[in-house]
Amino acid sequence: MLVTSILRRRTGVLLLAALVLAMITAFAPDAPAATYPNPETISGATYAHDPSMIRTASGRYYLFYTGGGIRISTSTDRVHWTATGQALPGGATWATAYKGWKDLWAPDVSFHNGVYWLYYAVSSFGSNHSAIGLATSTTAAPGSWTDHGLVYSSQSSGDYNAIDPALTVDAAGRWWLSFGSFWSGIKMIQLDPATGKQPASNTTRYGIAQRPSPDAIEGAYVYPHGGYYYLFTSFDYCCRGTNSTYRIMVARATSPTGPYVDENGVSATSGGGTQILGTHGYVIGPGGQTVLHDNDGDVLVYHYYNGNQGGTAQLGLNHLSWSANGWPTVVS
């Protein structure tokens, strides 16, 4: 009887210990949470959504972002920002068939051959009845932009979405436009540098990135660096304030049309992407990113939802550091 009682007590203790261990294991994190630096400190007109930035020869920065006829803020030091107007204050009058023609989205600005090129999107939220337009300027200032109308479009009967445009110029001087949101992912077309529009000689629409359904990928931006083309994208969901789940991912290829793979070799067309920035602290849902090559290095330009300001969209700026094997990391 005594031996049996002792064995039962020992068995009970062992079972209890195993249960406690199982509970600890079940609730333990798989790996330490990623840590990211906070955005650089800026002031003034810091609201922005889907930002794109250019630095002129005079040293003035122009920031373009979603809203109205594409809103513009300026700075002389990339720290203090002033709202100065809109690129197309009357909207895209050519695009009245699209519900968003007075509220333009996701601008992309770049400078080539003495001209500033501004691509933008026209759509209504959740629809792929969308279009990409083009405006140009010789100064980038409000009031100086000439609209050149339609570049590319998508219809509700199709499987792609013509928004979030971004221009890339490859090592051979060829122009490429990436775009896309949800549906069948990120696409790319070739452009004619003389017109900024698609040439008749190549009307191919390339597929360069896609995620499994519901395919929450958008905001593509292709940046050449060190012999590669880096595809930055935003995974998951924007536009939900403090409930936003955007995060910035990257893959790379040796050709602008792909194939792109992430740091683990997973294809971008199979959902691959290496995360370089996600929610941390008051920085919620960072995304809508572009990259500016500035005098002090490569700067990641993005928006995030500020948890200290009720989820207001804010401009985020951080430098990129490039590792020995060529992959970017977000730094202060």
Residue 298 in tokens: 């490569």
60-89 per-position pLDDT tens digit: 999 999 999 999 999 999 999 999 999 999
User: How confident is the model over 253-281, as pLDDT tens digits?
Assistant: 999 999 999 999 999 999 999 999 999 99
Distance of CA 105 to the CA centre of its chain: 13
**Residue 262 catalytic?**
no
pLDDT of residue 19: 37
Domains of the chain and CATH, by start: 39-331 (2.115.10.20)
Single-letter amino acid, residue 57: A
Asked which of 32-36, 103-107, 295-299, 318-322 is least confident by mean pLDDT, the reply is 32-36
pLDDT at residue 33 above 70? no
Residues facing residue 44 across a β-bridge: 81
What are the two backbone dihedrals, phi and then psi, of residue 241, each rounded to the nearest 5 degrees? 60, -130
Kindly name the residue from 50, 108, 236, 262 that is annotated as catalytic: 50
| CA atoms within 13 A of residue 190's CA, in its CB half-sphere | 13
Phi, psi (rounded to 5 degrees) for 232: -95, 130
User: Which residue is catalytic, options 147, 218, 236, 262?
Assistant: 218
Nearest one of 111, 97, 11 to 60, comparing CA atoms? 111
Sign of CA dihedral 4, 10, 12, 18: negative
Average pLDDT value over all residues in the chain:
91
Residue located via tokens 């013509």: 162
Asked if 316 and 304 count as a contact pair (C-beta separation under 8 A), the reply is yes
pLDDT at residue 11 in the model: 37
As a three-state string, the secondary structure of 17-55 is HHHHHHHHHHHCCCCCCCCCCCCCCCEECCECCCCEEEE
| Residue 103 annotated to the active site | no
Predicted confidence at residue 5, as pLDDT, reads 39
Higher pLDDT, 167 or 9: 167
Residue 39: is its pLDDT beyond 50? yes
How far is Cα 255 from Cα 172, in angstroms, rounded to an integer?
11
One-letter amino acid of 33: A
For position 27, what pLDDT does the model report?
38
Per-residue confidence at 103, pLDDT binned at 50, 70, 90? very high
pLDDT at 193 (0 to 100): 98
Instruction: State what percent of residues in the chain have pLDDT above 90.
Output: 87
Residue 63: closest CA among 86, 39, 91, 92: 86
pLDDT tens digit sequence for 278-316: 999 999 999 999 999 999 999 999 999 999 999 999 999
